[in-house]
Amino acid sequence: MNDAARNPEIDVDGLPDYRAVPLHPVAPGYLPCALLGSGAFWLAASLVALVLPHMPLETDLPRGPVPFLVVAGVGVLFLVRTWLDARLRGWAVREHDLIYRSGVLWRRTTILPFARIQHVESVSGPLERRVGLMRLKCFTAGGSGGDLVILGLDAERARRVRAHLLGRIGDDADGSDAL
Amino acid sequence: MHSEDGEPVWQRLAPPALAFRVVTGVQRFVRENLFLFAGAGAGAAFSDWMGPRELMLVGLVVVLGVLVTALVQHRRFRFRLEDDAVRVRQGLFQRTELRAQFDRVQNVRLSQPFYFRPFDLVRFSLETPGAATAEVELPGIPRPLAETMRDRVLAQLQSGDGEEAGAETDEAPTSGPLILMRVPTAALLRHGMSSNQLWILAAALFYVLDLILRRYETEPAVESAVAWLRDQTAGGWLLPSVLALAVVGFLFATSGLLALVRFRDYRLLDHGDRVVAHFGRVDRQERTLRRARITGLSLRQSPVGRLLDCWQLTARQTRSEDPGQVDGGSTFLVPGLRWRDLELTAALLRDARIPQRMTAIDAGFRRILQQRLVLVWLLLMIAVVSTPDRGADLWMPMGVLLVAALALIHLRWRHWGWHLDGKLLWVRRGLFGRRFEAIELERVQQASLLESPWQRRHGLRTLELILPQGALTIPYLPAETAAGLANRALQAAERLAPGTAATGRPVCSEVTATCRRDRLSSWLLFAAGEAVAKGRPAAAGAASAAMDDAESRSWASSSRPRADQESLPQASFGGAGRRPGRSSRGCCSPAAPDCPPRISIPETRRSRPAGGCSTTWTQRCAVRECQGCRSAAHRGLPLAAHLPAAGLVPDGGRRRSPVPELARSSVPARRRGSWLRAGQSSGRCERTPGATLAAGSGSPWSAGRDRAGTRSLPRAARRGAPGGLGGPRTAAGERDRRRCLCRLDAGGGALSAGAPGGPAAGGGAA
């Protein structure tokens, strides 16, 4: 096992590939939370669509179930999208960077090096707290375009990742240009 | 500047600075409230009931208001020059104190408007992006003081830059500044003519003319002039075209003259670690830019500039988030360059030369846009033609429009190109004009890959690199290329493997890049181990503390004695290395005697030969193999077939598929695709069927789940154990990764990816 003498060739393809990293999916509590959130909104919208034509307002909406069905249909589509989104989201922490993937139709994979993270915050809303979820916000220099929000981490893990990130930020920033 | 006891004193601005405040105040007022006067209809309304007297009255009131504000602000303004910063106290109602640290300064600007010249005052401003207030400005301090401050700032910067850019300071010319570029008058005129100013001027001109005509159209002089014009134009085309030419000529000339006035005598000097630009006659400007702060270059040529061969170069820096910066003073612009002058890029950004050829983006960009355009056009045509009247007449113009739009799309696609030149990435784009962006890959802050459904189907991605100066997008790249560029950029940004290219050895740090753990705790353990290996026990202690804390809370019990871990140098981290059975992703059940430890990398690294990362390279290799275990060749096989002879008992009936084979792969392939590639040279992971668990320890990284892997397995296997921090998914794929062997090369012995120590029970050291 002594390869000190060897010098294996490393070609460009030997770069670490972000695609080679399997991603953690979101915590199990994320899906119900997200579904609840968007479900509540669309439920309310469908109720409005149901009730509105019957109210004595000057609207041309047709009576009957059509508006309700339309809104409910769109709502169902959004719920399906939320479900797919929860399945497809993923994150991973490598030694030097953070990988995050999100999106259903338009998918985006973002890789954020630790050396560029200036600050990390963890946030959780009331519903998320119930389920034990947290989100991590990583802020970079140069404006909000470079910020990354990771959704769907369970609280424990989020705290650990944040602690690790804060530690790494300190390390990696030592040798780099403070920007 | 300093009082008797050496403390810096608070100073005030010189009185003539008031004039500056008044002027800028009026400018700002007009700019912010222009919409009131020039908005739709408002202009006409104002000109109706506001005669010249009223206008003058309003103007006077505005000036008085600005004057009073300026007076009060002037009185409140104080500044102080300290050793490493400048402090400013200002504010009318809200007193603010700003502090601009010299080493955060990106630009220094000295400018002298003509009304300051008799008093020899200058306007001094420091730009520090990233701070809440990006610019600190001292409008009206004596020139010697300003120059002293500038020198002090730059001296600070130089000492600060010394560590960053060691080589550059060596080259600092001791013989004085070097003139990089001198822009002659003609070039400045061309710059003015080709810049956007032209359009703004045109708009202003037409607006004013319209206003005048409308206001004064009842006057007899104007009426007769308009009538005369109409007669002339009815006669033929000569006069209107001459008139049009005259107007255009006037616009060009005015625009050129404005640019000339602004940039007169442009000189760019090189002072080693910084670049200084002097320009302007009426308003003399001196701008200093630190070389180390240049994050990229932008070369632009407008469509008119293509005819006149006029480029402008902008040095990109960190974008400031301060919305209050109106002046546009933050851009460092070199105007009026010819194509042959563009070698200047090499002087500003190391080794930056415009590449001869660019790689084009995928033709899918053009195809999809043209397809969609034709579709929309057809729909429009159907709608239009079906209108009862005049429908058929519109065929011709719509057809022409379609052809023109298709041609534009093609042009846009053709002009989009990129080129990777060592550490610089060049991107070219533009429709009628041309635009080059050069960025240093090291400055990348984030790499993002987007895929729309159409792109996904065709294997394309859009790469978006976020830099301090903004985002750079290259659309419709083949997926491999996009990933390759992203990886390259990340490697540069993270400063990985500085020696890789030189020595050909991978860097140890890359190991953990792909060897992930499913439980962060075990990963923390590894990090701690690494910290110890690097001699940072404090960090290691912290990590272990964090981990222990987490472990004690989340892990029920351990059935493995901690003593096993004592032999590890990281013994202080407790026995978290082995947590059998608890986690669904755990590698072993209590029943299995050869439950491999989860962490063995530190162990391996402990035995790392001096100066080598070979074993960790092994593990990196191993990871690839492990993932290759889920290759197409293995899919579809029933899991039982994967169980090794001396293997683990599937715990709780859940399948574990420790696939012992290694894939030979040298390419970071996709998760779904095939990982296998034949015919690799030594040093790659080789396929060793059947061998495996003899080494027992398996891979330390029973890493996380991979969706691609899970999909190939029956659903039951995917459902994980209840409890544990992970989700319901326990990919059998992760178990695949556990048992991997890595044979370094034909000569070397088979190397257990896990540890040299053999199975956990025996070795303990694993």
pLDDT at position B495: 72
Surface of B (311-370) touching A: CB under 8 A: 318-319, 321
pLDDT digits (tens, 9 = 90+) for A32-41: 888 998 999 9
Chain B CB within 8 Å of residue A115 CB: yes
Pick A18's closest partner by Cβ from B486, B666, B727.
B486
Contact B31, B326 (CB under 8 A): yes
Query: Is the pLDDT score of A74 beyond 70?
Result: yes
Pick A10's closest partner by Cβ from B506, B512, B706.
B506
Chain B CB within 8 Å of residue A19 CB: yes
Segment among A22-31, A52-61, A101-110 with least mean pLDDT: A52-61
Surface of B (426-465) touching A: CB under 8 A: 444-453, 456
Q: Would you state the structure tokens that stand for residue B85, as one six-digit string?
A: 């910063």
Query: Is the pLDDT score of B441 beyond 60?
Result: yes
3-state SS string for B519-540: CHHHHHHHHHHHHHHCCCHHHH
Q: Once rounded to an integer, what is the mean pLDDT over residues B483-493?
A: 88
Report the distance separating Cα B544 and Cα B599, nearest Å: 13
Nearest to B726 by CA among B585, B588, B589, B599: B585
Q: Once rounded to an integer, what is the mean pLDDT over residues B640-653?
A: 36
**ipTM exceeding 0.85?**
no
Contacts of B615 in chain A (CB under 8 A): 1, 3
Residue of B nearest to A116 (CA): B445
- Which pLDDT band holds residue B436 (cuts at 50, 70, 90)? very high
Nearest to B494 by CA among B529, B534, B443: B443
Angle CA B317–B320–B322, to nearest 5 = 165
Q: Would you state the structure tokens that stand for residue B248, as one six-digit string?
A: 């255009």
Q: What Cα–Cα distance (Å) separates residue B129 from each residue in A76, B117, B494, B535, B622?
A: 46, 30, 22, 36, 44
Q: Does the beta-carbon distance from B706 to A23 stay under 8 Å? A: yes
Contacts of A21 in chain B (CB under 8 A): 513-514, 516
Q: Once rounded to an integer, what is the mean pLDDT over residues B736-749?
A: 32
Chain A CB within 8 Å of residue B219 CB: no
Chain B CB within 8 Å of residue A123 CB: no
Contacts of A15 in chain B (CB under 8 A): 484, 487-488, 491, 668
**Å from B743 to nearest chain A CA?**
10
pLDDT at position B719: 41
Report the distance separating Cα B201 and Cα B207, nearest Å: 10
Contacts of B745 in chain A (CB under 8 A): 6, 8
Neighbours of B723 (CB within 10 A): 12
pLDDT digits (tens, 9 = 90+) for A129-170: 888 888 888 888 766 677 888 888 888 888 888 888 877 776
More confident site: B499 or B470: B470
Neighbours of B173 (CB within 10 A): 10
Chain B CB within 8 Å of residue A57 CB: no
Contacts of A25 in chain B (CB under 8 A): 705, 707, 727, 729
- Which pLDDT band holds residue B619 (cuts at 50, 70, 90)? very low
Q: Would you state the structure tokens that stand for residue B16, as one six-digit string?
A: 């003539």
Contacts of A106 in chain B (CB under 8 A): 450-453
Q: Once rounded to an integer, what is the mean pLDDT over residues B536-551?
A: 49
pLDDT at position B531: 53
**Å from B459 to nearest chain A CA?**
13
Angle CA B354–B355–B358, to nearest 5 = 130
Q: Would you state the structure tokens that stand for residue B709, as one six-digit string?
A: 């892997």
pLDDT digits (tens, 9 = 90+) for B61-115: 988 999 998 898 888 888 888 888 888 888 877 888 888 888 778 888 899 988 8
Report the distance separating Cα B277 and Cα B747, nearest Å: 62
Contact B255, B195 (CB under 8 A): yes
Query: Is the pLDDT score of B367 beyond 80?
Result: yes
Query: Is the pLDDT score of B379 beyond 80?
Result: yes
Q: What percent of chain B has pLDDT over 90?
A: 18
Q: Does the beta-carbon distance from A145 to B725 stay under 8 Å? A: no
Q: Once rounded to an integer, what is the mean pLDDT over residues B187-203?
A: 89
Report the distance separating Cα B553 and Cα B534, nearest Å: 29
Report the distance separating Cα B433 and Cα B303, nearest Å: 4
Chain A CB within 8 Å of residue B582 CB: no
Q: Does the beta-carbon distance from B504 to A7 stay under 8 Å? A: yes
Q: What percent of chain B has pLDDT over 70?
A: 57
Q: Would you state the structure tokens that stand for residue B761, as one six-digit string?
A: 């029970």
Chain B CB within 8 Å of residue A56 CB: no
More confident site: A89 or B584: A89
Q: Would you state the structure tokens that stand for residue B395, as one six-digit string?
A: 């065929």
pLDDT at position B463: 94
Report the distance separating Cα B266 and Cα B277, nearest Å: 7
Contact B657, B646 (CB under 8 A): no
Segment among A120-129, A166-175, B112-121, B699-708 with least mean pLDDT: B699-708
Segment among B272-281, B429-438, B543-552, B642-651 with least mean pLDDT: B642-651
Contact B567, B602 (CB under 8 A): no
Nearest to B654 by CA among B714, B705, B744: B714
Chain A CB within 8 Å of residue B690 CB: no
Angle CA B242–B243–B248, to nearest 5 = 95
Q: What are phi and psi of B428, to 5 degrees?
A: -115, 140
Mean pLDDT of chain A: 80
Contacts of A175 in chain B (CB under 8 A): 495
Report the distance separating Cα B206 and Cα B209, nearest Å: 5
**Å from A55 to nearest chain B CA?**
35
Pick B520's closest partner by Cβ from A1, A3, A157.
A157
Contact B733, B623 (CB under 8 A): no
pLDDT at position A160: 84
Neighbours of A134 (CB within 10 A): 24
Pick B550's closest partner by Cβ from A18, A19, A160.
A160
More confident site: B519 or B263: B263
More confident site: B550 or A120: A120
Q: Please, which contacts does B196-205 make with residues 24 or more away whose CB atoms are closer than 8 Å?
A: B196/B302, B197/B255, B197/B258, B197/B259, B198/B251, B198/B252, B198/B255, B198/B304, B201/B251, B201/B254, B201/B255, B201/B258, B202/B251, B205/B247, B205/B251
pLDDT at position B472: 92
Q: Is the dihedral of CA A121, A127, A129, A134 positive or negative?
A: negative
- Which pLDDT band holds residue B493 (cuts at 50, 70, 90)? confident
Q: Once rounded to an integer, what is the mean pLDDT over residues B145-172?
A: 65
**Å from B673 to nearest chain A CA?**
11
Report the distance separating Cα B293 and Cα A141, nearest Å: 13
Nearest to B138 by CA among B157, B151, B124, B148: B124
pLDDT at position A174: 46
Segment among B283-287, B290-294, B362-366 with least mean pLDDT: B290-294
Q: Which amino acid is at B578?
A: R
**Å from B651 to nearest chain A CA?**
23
Contact A159, A167 (CB under 8 A): no
Chain B CB within 8 Å of residue A119 CB: no
Q: Does the beta-carbon distance from A22 to B756 stay under 8 Å? A: no
Contact B633, B627 (CB under 8 A): no
Chain B CB within 8 Å of residue A55 CB: no
Residue of A nearest to B322 (CA): A143
Q: What Cα–Cα distance (Å) separates residue B399 from each residue in B386, B387, B405?
A: 16, 17, 10
Q: Once rounded to an integer, what is the mean pLDDT over residues B305-329?
A: 73
Q: Would you state the structure tokens that stand for residue A113, as one six-digit string?
A: 């090096």
Number of A:B CB contacts under 8 A? 235
Q: Does the beta-carbon distance from A25 to B727 stay under 8 Å? A: yes
**Å from A11 to nearest chain B CA?**
8
**Å from B224 to nearest chain A CA?**
55
CA torsion, ordered B20, B21, B24, B25, to nearest 10 deg:
-150
Contacts of B483 in chain A (CB under 8 A): 17-19
Q: Once rounded to an integer, what is the mean pLDDT over residues B541-563?
A: 41
pLDDT at position A119: 81
DSSP state, residue B506: P
Q: Is the dihedral of CA B170, B171, B177, B182 positive or negative?
A: negative
The full DSSP string for B552-583 is: HHH-----S-GGGGGGSTTGGGGGGG--TTTS
pLDDT at position B646: 35
Contacts of A97 in chain B (CB under 8 A): 490, 494
Q: Once rounded to an integer, what is the mean pLDDT over residues B116-136?
A: 81
Query: Is the pLDDT score of B388 beyond 60?
Result: yes
| Residue B757 CB burial class (10 angstroms; 0-12, 13-18, ≥19) | buried
pLDDT at position B158: 65
Query: Is the pLDDT score of B300 beyond 80?
Result: yes
- Which pLDDT band holds residue A82 (cuts at 50, 70, 90)? very high
